[in-house]
Amino acid sequence: MFRPAADLDRSPDERRLGRTILPSHVEYSTEKRHYAHIDCPGHHAYARNLLTGAAQLDGAILVVSASQGVQAQTIEHIQLARQAGIEHLVVFMSKHDLPVDNDQADFVEGELRAILQAHHYPSGDTPFIRGSAQSALMEDAFGVNSIRQLIDAMDDSIPLPDRRIDRPFLMPIAEVHTIAGQGQVVTGTVRRGVIKVGEEVEVMGLNHRITAVVTGLETFNQAMAQGQAGDQIGLRLRGVTQEQCHRGQVVVAPNRYPEHNRVEAQIYVLARDEGGRTTPLTSGYRPQLHLHTADVPCALTLAEGTEMIMPGDTADLTMDLLKPIFVEKGDRFALRDGGRTIALGTITGINR
Protein backbone atom coordinates (compact mmCIF):
# COMPACT_ATOMS: atom_id res chain seq x y z
CA MET A 1 0.00 0.00 0.00
CA PHE A 2 1.56 3.31 -1.08
CA ARG A 3 1.14 6.35 1.11
CA PRO A 4 2.91 9.60 0.21
CA ALA A 5 5.54 10.61 2.77
CA ALA A 6 3.97 14.06 3.01
CA ASP A 7 0.80 12.44 4.41
CA LEU A 8 2.63 11.04 7.45
CA ASP A 9 3.04 14.47 9.05
CA ARG A 10 -0.53 15.69 8.94
CA SER A 11 -0.91 18.40 11.56
CA PRO A 12 -0.07 22.06 10.79
CA ASP A 13 2.68 22.01 13.44
CA GLU A 14 4.25 18.92 11.89
CA ARG A 15 4.27 20.48 8.44
CA ARG A 16 5.61 23.80 9.75
CA LEU A 17 8.41 22.27 11.81
CA GLY A 18 9.23 19.49 9.38
CA ARG A 19 9.23 16.79 12.06
CA THR A 20 6.90 14.07 13.34
CA ILE A 21 4.94 14.97 16.48
CA LEU A 22 2.08 12.44 16.52
CA PRO A 23 2.43 8.72 15.75
CA SER A 24 1.20 7.83 12.25
CA HIS A 25 -0.05 4.39 11.20
CA VAL A 26 0.52 2.75 7.81
CA GLU A 27 0.24 -0.82 6.55
CA TYR A 28 2.15 -2.79 3.93
CA SER A 29 2.93 -6.38 3.03
CA THR A 30 6.04 -8.34 2.07
CA GLU A 31 6.17 -11.82 0.61
CA LYS A 32 6.31 -13.21 4.16
CA ARG A 33 4.18 -10.89 6.32
CA HIS A 34 1.67 -8.10 6.69
CA TYR A 35 2.98 -5.15 8.72
CA ALA A 36 1.18 -2.47 10.71
CA HIS A 37 3.83 0.24 10.90
CA ILE A 38 3.81 3.12 13.41
CA ASP A 39 5.87 6.18 12.48
CA CYS A 40 6.86 7.39 15.96
CA PRO A 41 8.16 10.89 16.79
CA GLY A 42 11.93 11.15 16.66
CA HIS A 43 12.48 14.55 18.24
CA HIS A 44 13.25 14.51 21.98
CA ALA A 45 10.58 17.13 22.70
CA TYR A 46 7.85 14.65 21.72
CA ALA A 47 9.06 11.56 23.59
CA ARG A 48 5.68 11.46 25.39
CA ASN A 49 4.06 10.53 22.07
CA LEU A 50 6.91 8.14 21.32
CA LEU A 51 6.04 6.25 24.51
CA THR A 52 2.46 5.82 23.33
CA GLY A 53 3.65 4.45 19.99
CA ALA A 54 6.31 2.22 21.50
CA ALA A 55 3.73 0.60 23.74
CA GLN A 56 2.19 -0.98 20.64
CA LEU A 57 5.31 -2.37 18.94
CA ASP A 58 6.64 -5.92 18.46
CA GLY A 59 9.89 -4.69 16.89
CA ALA A 60 11.39 -1.36 15.94
CA ILE A 61 13.46 0.33 13.24
CA LEU A 62 15.98 2.72 14.77
CA VAL A 63 16.75 5.43 12.20
CA VAL A 64 20.08 7.22 12.61
CA SER A 65 21.70 9.81 10.36
CA ALA A 66 25.01 8.53 9.07
CA SER A 67 26.19 12.12 8.61
CA GLN A 68 25.22 13.36 12.11
CA GLY A 69 25.77 10.18 14.13
CA VAL A 70 24.33 9.35 17.53
CA GLN A 71 22.18 12.13 19.00
CA ALA A 72 20.76 12.55 22.52
CA GLN A 73 17.34 11.32 21.39
CA THR A 74 18.95 8.23 19.82
CA ILE A 75 19.99 7.00 23.25
CA GLU A 76 16.59 7.87 24.71
CA HIS A 77 14.87 5.93 21.93
CA ILE A 78 16.94 2.85 22.79
CA GLN A 79 16.13 3.28 26.48
CA LEU A 80 12.41 3.63 25.77
CA ALA A 81 12.44 0.63 23.44
CA ARG A 82 13.96 -1.45 26.21
CA GLN A 83 11.46 -0.04 28.74
CA ALA A 84 8.54 -0.89 26.43
CA GLY A 85 9.74 -4.47 26.15
CA ILE A 86 10.78 -4.26 22.49
CA GLU A 87 13.29 -7.08 22.13
CA HIS A 88 14.18 -6.77 18.44
CA LEU A 89 15.69 -3.78 16.64
CA VAL A 90 16.83 -3.11 13.09
CA VAL A 91 19.06 -0.08 12.54
CA PHE A 92 18.72 1.99 9.37
CA MET A 93 21.65 4.37 8.84
CA SER A 94 20.11 6.94 6.53
CA LYS A 95 21.38 9.98 4.58
CA HIS A 96 24.02 8.02 2.69
CA ASP A 97 23.02 10.18 -0.28
CA LEU A 98 25.10 12.92 1.40
CA PRO A 99 28.90 12.87 1.44
CA VAL A 100 29.61 10.20 4.07
CA ASP A 101 32.89 8.27 3.90
CA ASN A 102 33.14 4.66 5.03
CA ASP A 103 35.32 5.51 8.03
CA GLN A 104 32.68 7.88 9.40
CA ALA A 105 29.90 5.35 8.81
CA ASP A 106 31.96 2.61 10.48
CA PHE A 107 32.54 4.88 13.48
CA VAL A 108 28.82 5.63 13.85
CA GLU A 109 27.94 1.95 13.55
CA GLY A 110 30.56 0.97 16.13
CA GLU A 111 29.32 3.62 18.56
CA LEU A 112 25.74 2.46 18.12
CA ARG A 113 26.61 -1.20 18.65
CA ALA A 114 28.33 -0.30 21.92
CA ILE A 115 25.24 1.62 23.09
CA LEU A 116 22.96 -1.28 22.13
CA GLN A 117 25.19 -3.68 24.06
CA ALA A 118 25.05 -1.41 27.12
CA HIS A 119 21.25 -1.60 26.99
CA HIS A 120 21.26 -5.40 26.77
CA TYR A 121 20.51 -5.71 23.07
CA PRO A 122 22.45 -8.34 21.07
CA SER A 123 24.48 -5.74 19.20
CA GLY A 124 26.40 -8.31 17.20
CA ASP A 125 23.18 -9.80 15.85
CA THR A 126 21.34 -6.51 15.26
CA PRO A 127 21.08 -5.81 11.50
CA PHE A 128 22.54 -2.49 10.27
CA ILE A 129 21.35 -1.25 6.88
CA ARG A 130 23.06 1.68 5.17
CA GLY A 131 20.90 3.62 2.77
CA SER A 132 18.93 6.73 1.97
CA ALA A 133 15.21 7.26 2.44
CA GLN A 134 15.35 10.42 0.35
CA SER A 135 16.95 8.56 -2.55
CA ALA A 136 14.30 5.85 -2.28
CA LEU A 137 11.55 8.50 -2.62
CA MET A 138 13.29 9.74 -5.77
CA GLU A 139 13.37 6.12 -7.03
CA ASP A 140 17.16 6.11 -7.12
CA ALA A 141 18.47 2.54 -7.39
CA PHE A 142 20.70 2.82 -4.30
CA GLY A 143 17.88 4.14 -2.11
CA VAL A 144 15.30 1.63 -3.35
CA ASN A 145 17.70 -1.26 -2.81
CA SER A 146 18.47 -0.10 0.74
CA ILE A 147 14.76 -0.12 1.61
CA ARG A 148 14.47 -3.64 0.19
CA GLN A 149 17.38 -4.69 2.39
CA LEU A 150 15.63 -3.11 5.37
CA ILE A 151 12.41 -5.02 4.70
CA ASP A 152 14.34 -8.28 4.30
CA ALA A 153 16.11 -7.64 7.61
CA MET A 154 12.76 -7.07 9.33
CA ASP A 155 11.35 -10.31 7.93
CA ASP A 156 14.40 -12.29 9.02
CA SER A 157 15.27 -10.78 12.41
CA ILE A 158 11.91 -9.86 14.01
CA PRO A 159 10.13 -13.09 14.98
CA LEU A 160 6.37 -13.45 14.86
CA PRO A 161 5.00 -12.78 18.37
CA ASP A 162 2.82 -15.18 20.29
CA ARG A 163 -0.68 -13.68 20.23
CA ARG A 164 -2.77 -14.36 23.34
CA ILE A 165 -6.16 -14.69 21.71
CA ASP A 166 -7.44 -17.10 24.40
CA ARG A 167 -7.45 -14.40 27.11
CA PRO A 168 -10.22 -11.87 27.90
CA PHE A 169 -10.17 -8.87 25.56
CA LEU A 170 -7.85 -5.96 26.42
CA MET A 171 -6.87 -2.90 24.37
CA PRO A 172 -5.12 0.22 25.72
CA ILE A 173 -6.59 3.38 24.15
CA ALA A 174 -4.04 5.32 22.10
CA GLU A 175 -6.35 7.88 20.49
CA VAL A 176 -9.96 9.04 20.83
CA HIS A 177 -12.00 10.57 17.99
CA THR A 178 -15.52 11.96 18.02
CA ILE A 179 -17.49 11.36 14.82
CA ALA A 180 -20.67 13.39 14.45
CA GLY A 181 -23.74 11.18 14.55
CA GLN A 182 -21.76 8.02 15.29
CA GLY A 183 -20.26 8.51 18.74
CA GLN A 184 -16.77 7.83 20.01
CA VAL A 185 -14.08 5.95 18.11
CA VAL A 186 -11.12 4.64 20.13
CA THR A 187 -7.99 3.27 18.49
CA GLY A 188 -5.16 1.12 19.74
CA THR A 189 -3.44 -2.24 19.49
CA VAL A 190 -5.24 -5.27 20.91
CA ARG A 191 -3.00 -6.79 23.59
CA ARG A 192 -5.02 -9.95 24.14
CA GLY A 193 -8.28 -11.63 23.28
CA VAL A 194 -10.81 -11.24 20.47
CA ILE A 195 -13.48 -8.56 19.97
CA LYS A 196 -16.52 -8.68 17.67
CA VAL A 197 -19.04 -6.13 16.51
CA GLY A 198 -22.07 -6.12 18.81
CA GLU A 199 -20.21 -7.24 21.92
CA GLU A 200 -20.34 -5.38 25.22
CA VAL A 201 -17.12 -3.91 26.66
CA GLU A 202 -15.98 -1.68 29.49
CA VAL A 203 -13.96 1.51 29.19
CA MET A 204 -12.01 1.81 32.43
CA GLY A 205 -9.28 3.82 34.09
CA LEU A 206 -8.67 7.44 35.09
CA ASN A 207 -11.67 7.44 37.45
CA HIS A 208 -14.10 6.02 34.87
CA ARG A 209 -15.64 2.60 34.35
CA ILE A 210 -18.38 2.70 31.73
CA THR A 211 -20.15 -0.08 29.87
CA ALA A 212 -20.39 0.36 26.09
CA VAL A 213 -21.31 -1.63 23.00
CA VAL A 214 -19.06 -2.07 19.94
CA THR A 215 -21.09 -0.87 16.96
CA GLY A 216 -18.27 -0.83 14.41
CA LEU A 217 -14.72 -2.09 13.95
CA GLU A 218 -12.13 -0.98 11.41
CA THR A 219 -8.48 -1.55 10.68
CA PHE A 220 -6.77 0.82 8.25
CA ASN A 221 -10.12 2.09 6.95
CA GLN A 222 -11.40 -1.43 6.26
CA ALA A 223 -14.53 -2.61 8.07
CA MET A 224 -13.98 -5.88 9.92
CA ALA A 225 -16.26 -8.30 11.76
CA GLN A 226 -13.71 -8.91 14.52
CA GLY A 227 -10.25 -7.99 15.76
CA GLN A 228 -7.78 -10.04 17.75
CA ALA A 229 -4.53 -9.73 19.69
CA GLY A 230 -1.90 -7.91 17.65
CA ASP A 231 -4.35 -6.02 15.43
CA GLN A 232 -4.37 -2.22 15.31
CA ILE A 233 -8.03 -1.34 15.26
CA GLY A 234 -10.57 1.39 15.74
CA LEU A 235 -13.70 0.62 17.78
CA ARG A 236 -16.88 2.66 17.42
CA LEU A 237 -18.55 2.66 20.81
CA ARG A 238 -22.13 3.38 21.86
CA GLY A 239 -22.79 4.39 25.43
CA VAL A 240 -19.79 6.61 26.22
CA THR A 241 -19.31 10.35 25.83
CA GLN A 242 -16.31 12.39 24.79
CA GLU A 243 -15.72 13.38 28.42
CA GLN A 244 -15.58 9.73 29.51
CA CYS A 245 -13.07 8.48 26.90
CA HIS A 246 -9.36 9.33 27.14
CA ARG A 247 -5.99 8.10 25.99
CA GLY A 248 -4.50 5.96 28.73
CA GLN A 249 -7.70 4.10 29.53
CA VAL A 250 -8.30 0.52 28.40
CA VAL A 251 -11.19 -1.18 26.62
CA VAL A 252 -11.75 -4.58 28.23
CA ALA A 253 -14.12 -7.51 28.48
CA PRO A 254 -16.72 -6.71 31.18
CA ASN A 255 -15.86 -7.54 34.80
CA ARG A 256 -12.56 -9.21 33.96
CA TYR A 257 -9.87 -6.65 34.81
CA PRO A 258 -9.36 -4.46 37.91
CA GLU A 259 -7.70 -1.04 38.11
CA HIS A 260 -5.21 0.04 40.74
CA ASN A 261 -3.74 3.21 42.20
CA ARG A 262 -0.97 1.80 44.42
CA VAL A 263 1.80 -0.47 43.14
CA GLU A 264 5.22 -1.78 44.10
CA ALA A 265 8.04 -1.33 41.59
CA GLN A 266 11.74 -1.60 40.97
CA ILE A 267 13.28 1.33 39.11
CA TYR A 268 16.60 2.23 37.60
CA VAL A 269 17.35 5.95 37.85
CA LEU A 270 19.13 7.14 34.72
CA ALA A 271 22.59 8.59 35.25
CA ARG A 272 23.53 12.04 34.03
CA ASP A 273 25.37 10.71 30.96
CA GLU A 274 22.21 8.76 30.08
CA GLY A 275 20.12 11.93 30.03
CA GLY A 276 18.89 11.56 33.61
CA ARG A 277 18.98 13.69 36.74
CA THR A 278 22.00 15.01 38.60
CA THR A 279 20.26 14.90 41.99
CA PRO A 280 18.83 11.91 43.90
CA LEU A 281 15.19 10.84 44.23
CA THR A 282 13.54 11.00 47.65
CA SER A 283 10.16 10.04 49.09
CA GLY A 284 7.39 12.43 48.09
CA TYR A 285 8.82 13.12 44.65
CA ARG A 286 6.07 13.34 42.01
CA PRO A 287 7.05 12.48 38.41
CA GLN A 288 4.80 11.41 35.53
CA LEU A 289 4.27 7.68 35.10
CA HIS A 290 4.11 6.43 31.49
CA LEU A 291 2.72 2.90 31.25
CA HIS A 292 1.08 1.38 28.15
CA THR A 293 -0.62 4.49 26.75
CA ALA A 294 -1.34 6.05 30.16
CA ASP A 295 0.36 9.19 31.45
CA VAL A 296 -0.50 9.93 35.10
CA PRO A 297 1.26 11.70 37.98
CA CYS A 298 2.42 9.56 40.87
CA ALA A 299 4.04 9.98 44.28
CA LEU A 300 7.08 7.88 45.20
CA THR A 301 7.67 6.31 48.62
CA LEU A 302 11.10 4.72 49.01
CA ALA A 303 11.53 1.40 50.76
CA GLU A 304 12.03 1.47 54.52
CA GLY A 305 15.64 2.30 55.35
CA THR A 306 16.27 4.01 51.99
CA GLU A 307 16.66 7.77 52.23
CA MET A 308 17.45 8.49 48.58
CA ILE A 309 18.16 6.86 45.21
CA MET A 310 21.18 8.25 43.38
CA PRO A 311 21.34 8.51 39.57
CA GLY A 312 22.68 5.23 38.21
CA ASP A 313 21.21 3.18 41.10
CA THR A 314 18.44 0.55 41.19
CA ALA A 315 15.96 0.44 44.07
CA ASP A 316 12.53 -0.78 45.17
CA LEU A 317 9.73 1.64 46.01
CA THR A 318 5.98 2.18 46.18
CA MET A 319 4.09 4.40 43.73
CA ASP A 320 0.75 6.03 44.56
CA LEU A 321 -1.06 6.97 41.35
CA LEU A 322 -3.18 10.09 41.47
CA LYS A 323 -5.67 8.37 39.13
CA PRO A 324 -6.31 4.60 38.98
CA ILE A 325 -5.27 2.76 35.82
CA PHE A 326 -5.03 -0.82 34.57
CA VAL A 327 -1.66 -2.24 35.60
CA GLU A 328 -0.28 -5.75 36.08
CA LYS A 329 2.76 -7.29 37.70
CA GLY A 330 5.60 -7.38 35.18
CA ASP A 331 4.50 -4.27 33.28
CA ARG A 332 7.33 -1.93 32.32
CA PHE A 333 7.12 1.82 32.62
CA ALA A 334 9.03 5.08 32.44
CA LEU A 335 9.12 8.01 34.83
CA ARG A 336 9.47 11.45 33.27
CA ASP A 337 9.87 14.95 34.63
CA GLY A 338 10.69 18.26 33.00
CA GLY A 339 10.41 16.84 29.47
CA ARG A 340 12.92 14.02 29.93
CA THR A 341 12.99 10.40 31.05
CA ILE A 342 14.52 10.09 34.51
CA ALA A 343 13.93 6.43 35.37
CA LEU A 344 12.83 3.09 33.91
CA GLY A 345 11.11 0.41 35.93
CA THR A 346 9.06 -2.76 36.27
CA ILE A 347 5.92 -3.35 38.34
CA THR A 348 6.78 -5.97 40.99
CA GLY A 349 3.54 -6.06 42.96
CA ILE A 350 0.01 -4.72 43.31
CA ASN A 351 -1.38 -3.29 46.56
CA ARG A 352 -5.07 -4.17 46.48
Q: Is residue 83 part of a domain?
A: yes
Residues 16 and 142 both lie in one domain: yes
Residue 336 domain flag: yes
Mean pLDDT calculated for residue range 266-280: 88
Residues 133 and 22 in one domain: yes
Is the same domain home to 145 and 224? Answer: no
Residues 44, 50, 52, 56, Cα dihedral to 10°: -160
Q: What is the pLDDT of residue 35?
A: 83
pLDDT band at 10 (very low <50, low <70, confident <90, very high): low
Same domain? For 53 and 16 the reply is: yes
In sequence order, the 6+-apart residues with CB closer than 8 A to the CB of 260 are: 321, 324, 325, 326, 327, 350, 351, 352
Measured in degrees and rounded to the nearest 5, phi and psi for residue 65 equal: -75, 125
Say whether pLDDT at 236 is over 90.
yes
What local confidence, expressed as pLDDT, does residue 50 receive?
A: 55
Q: End of a domain among 252, 279, 310?
A: 252
Residue % of the chain over a pLDDT of 70: 88
Checking if the pLDDT of 278 tops 50, the result is yes
Q: Does residue 164 lie within any of the structural domains? A: no
Query: Which of 193, 220, 252 is where one domain is finished?
Result: 252
Q: Which of 296, 299, 215, 239 is nearest to 265 (CA)?
A: 299
What value does the mean pLDDT of the chain take? 86
Can you give the pLDDT at residue 123?
82
Final residue belonging to a domain, choices 252, 268, 286: 252
Q: Write out pLDDT tens, residues 120-145.
A: 899 889 999 999 988 988 899 999 99
Distance between CA atoms of residues 67 and 95, nearest Å: 7
Containing structural domain, residue 145: 5-157
User: Do 179 and 65 reside in the same domain of the chain?
Assistant: no
Over residues 297-317, the pLDDT tens digits come to: 999 999 999 999 999 999 999
- Same-domain status, 153 and 197: no
Count of domains observed in the chain: 3
Q: Let me know if residue 301 belongs to a domain.
A: yes
On whether both 122 and 193 belong to a single domain, the answer is no
Q: How confident is the model over 175-181, as a mean pLDDT?
A: 87
